[in-house]
Chains A and B, each alone.
Chain A
Amino acid sequence: MGTTASQLGKDSLSEYQELTFLTKQEILLAHKRFTELQNRDERNHPNATRVPMEKILTLPELKSNPFRKRICHVFSTSEAKDGSLTFEDFLDLLSAFSDSATLEIKSHYAFRIFDFDDDGTLDCGDLEKLVNCLTGETDDTRLTSDEMRQLISNILEESDIDKDGTVNLSEFQHVISRSPDFVSSFKIVL
């Protein structure tokens, strides 16, 4: 009588467990939450259909995160580049943000998330958008343009080793390696 949500097959479960850093319970919980976001008729094929970005952004873990749109764009595999996610994309997301992911994986994805124009390096525009996201959307917590310029030039001075005006992946990873709590702060748990 009541419609039950489609269960995850046992071999799919073990396959996902092997391919990601997630445990069995985390995968099952992710499946449950993902199918809740889908429409009724889509629920039988969670892998085939994409959930649009607006629905993903209603998840409480992502709702208030200033980087939510970038996260969706980075993990999305859709050709239309609209940030929609399949279930496997969603698992990828959770795997990168999980407890057991390595520092390399996390710093790689962090770099892609902070690269707002998707050109493979963090230049001044990317850094400015990053700082604005960090300090908040309201006006009274924004830095003035003078301070912003100075901040960006200081950041580049500290992290740009080859002095080309941008921060590439290796330089980013070099800065991250000096911070002891990056791994614990780059985490999302459902």
Chain B
Amino acid sequence: MGGFLVLPQAIYPPELHKNREPFTGLELLTGAGYFSDTLMYYGYYSNYTLRSHMNNCTENNLPSSAKWECESKYPSYNMPLAYFFTIGMAFFITCIILVYSMSKSFGQSFRIDKSHGMLAMKAFCSWDFKVVKKSSVKLMSENIYTQLKELLAEVNQRHNKNTALQKLWRLMVHSLAWTICIAGTTGCVIAIYFSSDYVHKQRAGNVSRGSLKEASLLALPVLVSLINLLLPGLFNLAAWMEEYNSPSVRTYVAISRNLMLKVSVLGVLCYLWLSRVAYNSDSDIYIKTSSQCWESFVGQELYRFLIIDFIFTLLNTLFGELLWRIFSDKVLKHKRKPGFDIAKNVLDLIYGQTLAWLGVLFTPLLPAVQVLKLLLLFYIKKSSVMMNCQAPRRPYRVSQMTTIFITLLCFPSFLGASVCVTYTMWSINPSESCGPFRGRKTMFQAGKHWIEELEKENPHLSLLARAHTYLVENPFFMFVGAAIALIVIYFQSQVVDGQRKIITLLQEQIENVGKDKKFLITRLQSMHEQKRAPKQSLASQDSGC
């Protein structure tokens, strides 16, 4: 990304905008102001072909053919095309990497045989022979004892059947909890929708520029981050009220509720940006007040969301976990430290990553910001976990959870981001005044335009151009490709099913062979006894005579 887009543009900067604002510290947070005319955003990138030594060719009055030769001698760089293809390739490569790692982890965790064999594994493999100190040995024994007891209790629970009345009661409690969660989510979505309206109206009304106005840009991200922080707490309360029996079901329910929240938040934000900001380009208050292009504005919004999310996570880690530990130590007098909520943290990471993917089209430097943020977050979280939390007592099925998280990363997150970006590229008009695609109907036109030019210049490549027209633009090809992928997946799942059936048959066979062996051995023994008994009676008869 950096090599293809940022460096060429940095070397050949376009003409500067007239009123460039001075740098104040607030820019790091809001991303607007000084930053809006820099490499960070879409609006900075030029829409023509960059050529080095352009001055050499335009100085003399050369005829047009010589001029063309002159220009083609020096390296040129078609900026719009580069922008378009770099983003496309980046998404494609990310897609391949994700699918590959998903299939690998799926293969590792997808045990074809029964996957509930935890007790035997616990009994045979959990003793760590490296432990030397007596106190640690005692601790390990207690740990194993607790784990075995909990596993046994879990197995017992499965066998208990509830009466009809209890089932009805549980059904009511579950539906109440789900209603609370869905109502909470819908309420937050509506709040986001109306508050963004309100904030923008405020900005439109207040004409004077000042740092307060810049800071008001931060209101929406702060609201969203607050929602992301507080609502999972509500979900936890609802889950505690429900009293799930098995912890894995509880984890799955928590993950699905958090996922629902994040998907709806991101959905409403995308809707706000793509439909309102992009389309109402003539009579809109947004564009009138901020004389920027809408893509840069969306990029800035995404940058702000990312930064505020980071700040809130930092604050939550530093103060929230520390305070909770002190609270549970002194006030509630729990002996254990609070557990580290893996599901919530991973979903937060996936949310941040989705924001980064959405923003790549509008803010090419966003991946760098995201990498920096992830590095910092990793080290801070690591030290916080060491200090404040303790390991969960139940054995955590790492490989299965990894599969689930990677699937979540791939499916809702990456797919949603790429669908949004494709929709933007395909059908939304780029803004007139900035960016590498200004003046065209859609961003996709850049690719088409290049193919047409290529065809004009070199008739030998017309085959390629025609292939491109038929393959890429024809939706039929996409359907065929998707159908082939689905057929391959179906075949694989049938193979796995067949292997599972074979394993059950083989297990039954082993059992039967064991039984056969026992049967044959007893028969052999009884036959030997019979043979020996008549011989003995014969011998005694002989001796008797």
Contacts and interface: CB of A to CB of B under 8 A. Distances in A.
Interface of A: 60-61, 63-67, 97, 110, 114, 127, 130-131, 134-136, 138, 141, 143, 147, 150-151, 154-155, 158-159, 161-164, 172, 175-176, 178-179, 181-182, 185-189
Interface in B117-172: 117, 119-121, 123-134, 137-138, 141-142, 144-145, 148-149, 152, 155-156
Interface in B487-521: 507, 510-511, 513-514, 518
Contact of A97 (B125, B129, B133): B129
Contacts, number: 108
Interface in B30-79: none
21 contacts: A60-B132, A65-B129, A66-B137, A97-B129, A131-B148, A134-B123, A136-B138, A136-B145, A151-B123, A151-B148, A154-B155, A161-B510, A162-B513, A162-B514, A164-B514, A176-B125, A179-B121, A182-B124, A185-B127, A185-B129, A187-B129
A135 B130 contact: no
A147 B514 contact: no
Given A136-B141, A162-B514, A164-B514, A187 B127 contact: no
The 8 A-B pairs at the shortest CB distance, nearest first, are namely A136-B141, A162-B514, A179-B125, A135-B145, A158-B117, A159-B120, A185-B128, A158-B120
B333 interface: no
Nearest to B155: A154
B149 A130 contact: no
Instruction: Provide the main secondary structure of the chain A interface.
Output: helix
Q: How many of chain B's residues touch chain A, expressed as a range?
A: 35 or more
B129 A188 contact: yes
B117 A181 contact: no
A134 B155 contact: no
Given A158-B117, A162-B513, A175-B117, A185 B507 contact: no
B111 interface: yes
Contacts of B119: 151, 154-155, 158
A64 B123 contact: no
Given A135-B141, A151-B148, A161-B507, A64 B133 contact: yes
A161 B145 contact: no
Contacts of A134: 123, 126-127, 141, 144-145, 148
Most chain A CB atoms below 10 A, which of B120, B126, B510:
B120
Contacts of A114: 124
A178 to B, nearest CB: 6
B507 A175 contact: no
Given A61-B132, A185-B125, 6 more contacts: A65-B129, A67-B129, A150-B152, A154-B155, A161-B507, A162-B514
A134 B242 CA distance: 34
B517 to A, nearest CB: 9
Contacts of A63: 132, 134
Contacts of B138: 136, 138
Given A163-B514, A185-B130, A189-B130, A141 B123 contact: no
Contacts of B514: 162-164
B123 A130 contact: yes
A66 B138 CA distance: 10
Contacts of B120: 154-155, 158-159, 175
Contacts of B125: 175-176, 179, 181-182, 185
Nearest to B138: A136
Nearest to A172: B124
Contacts of A66: 137, 141
Contacts of A143: 145, 148-149
A145 B127 CA distance: 22
B132 to A, nearest CB: 6
A138 B126 CA distance: 19
B340 to A, nearest CB: 19
A82 B128 CA distance: 26
